[in-house]
Amino acid sequence: MTDLSSSFFSSGLSKAASLRGKLLEALGAEPEWTVGTEDSPDVVWLAGPVPTFLSVQVGGPLTPRLGVLTIRTRCAWVENLDHARLMVDDLNRHTTLNRWVVLGDPGPTNWFDLQGEDQTPDWMDTEALRRALIYPRPAPDGPVSVEAGVSFVIGDPSTDVPFEAVLLIVSEQIAKATALVTNEFAEGWGEAAVADLDGRQRGGISGIRWSTTTTTV
């Protein structure tokens, strides 16, 4: 993983990394199930059978005092995109605090095609530009997954969230994702994104049907 030490002139980035460390400690993240250091842009924790990614980045070139901490829990690899979209829509309607997404979704058919006349320059195709802002083009042939996530902006009293609230939100996200994965919620549209660390997997729940596809952290 890339070392962030050369970028720590940003107070926002430093504060985001500090919050991440405090959060991992409060969650009880074990070193033997964690990958990355305090200077890494991404830290991965196997709290259960699926991985949780804790990523830090600067708020923006004009706001170096602000940092962003994003926590994503990968739940499943998608095989049936339409069914996965319906599942994510249902989760977002009936669960709280976290956002469920189909990461890498190619979008509706022709969504990224030019929307203007054939002779219209790309920079004048306002509808295509608007759509690109709504949903950036995914990597070609990249994997598609269902993930739960939440982001926090850190570094200013007007944006800071109380730590107790951050801990509650992230704890609920990991618990919800683990409960779904261990109850075969991906059956019919995908495979649980079971991860391993140096060949080791977490879980051990009796009766779970493990996917044959694993992600190596």
pLDDT in tens, 42-54: 999 999 999 999 9
Domain count along the chain: 1
pLDDT of residue 205: 34
| Cα separation, 186 vs 43, whole angstroms | 25
Q: What is the pLDDT of residues 134-183, one digit of tens each?
A: 666 666 677 899 999 999 999 888 778 899 999 999 999 999 999 999 99
pLDDT at position 92: 93
Mean confidence (pLDDT) of the chain: 82
* pLDDT for the residue numbered 142: 78
CA distances from 154 to 18, 63, 68, 163 (A): 10, 11, 6, 11
| Torsion from C-alpha of 75, 80, 82, 87, nearest 10 degrees | -30
Question: Is residue 63 domain-resident?
Answer: yes
What CATH code is carried by the domain that includes residue 19?
3.30.1460.10
66 and 58 Cβ atoms separated by less than 8 Å? yes
Q: What are phi and psi of 64, to 5 degrees?
A: -65, -15
Report yes or no on 120 lying in a domain: no
The residue with tokens 């990523």 is 55
Residue 94's φ and ψ, nearest 5 degrees, are -120, 5
> Angle at the Cα of 136 (from 187 to 63), degrees rounded to 5?
120
pLDDT band at 78; cut points 50, 70, 90: very high
Cα of 216 vs its chain's centroid, Å: 16
pLDDT tens per residue across span 114-127: 655 556 666 667 77
CB 59 within 8 A of CB 171: no
In a domain, 118, yes or no: no
Is residue 198 assigned to a domain? yes
Angle, CA 183 vertex, CA 180 and CA 186 arms, to 5°: 70
Secondary element (H or E) of residue 34: strand 34-35
Percent of the chain predicted with pLDDT > 90: 55
Domain extent for 203: 5-104+143-216
pTM of the model: 0.79
127 in any annotated domain: no
In-domain check, residue 182: yes
Q: Does residue 83 form part of some domain?
A: yes
Q: Between β-strands 195-196 and 215-216, what pairing exists: parallel, antiparallel or unpaired?
A: parallel
SS3 track for 138-173 = CCCCCCCEEEEEEEEEECCCCCCCCHHHHHHHHHHH
Neighbours of 117 (CB within 10 A): 8
pLDDT digit string, tens, across residues 96-110: 778 999 998 877 777
What one-character DSSP code corresponds to residue 48?
Answer: S
Give me the DSSP letters along 171-195: HHHHHHHHHHHTTTTTTTTEEE--E
Asked if the structure places residue 208 within a domain, the reply is yes
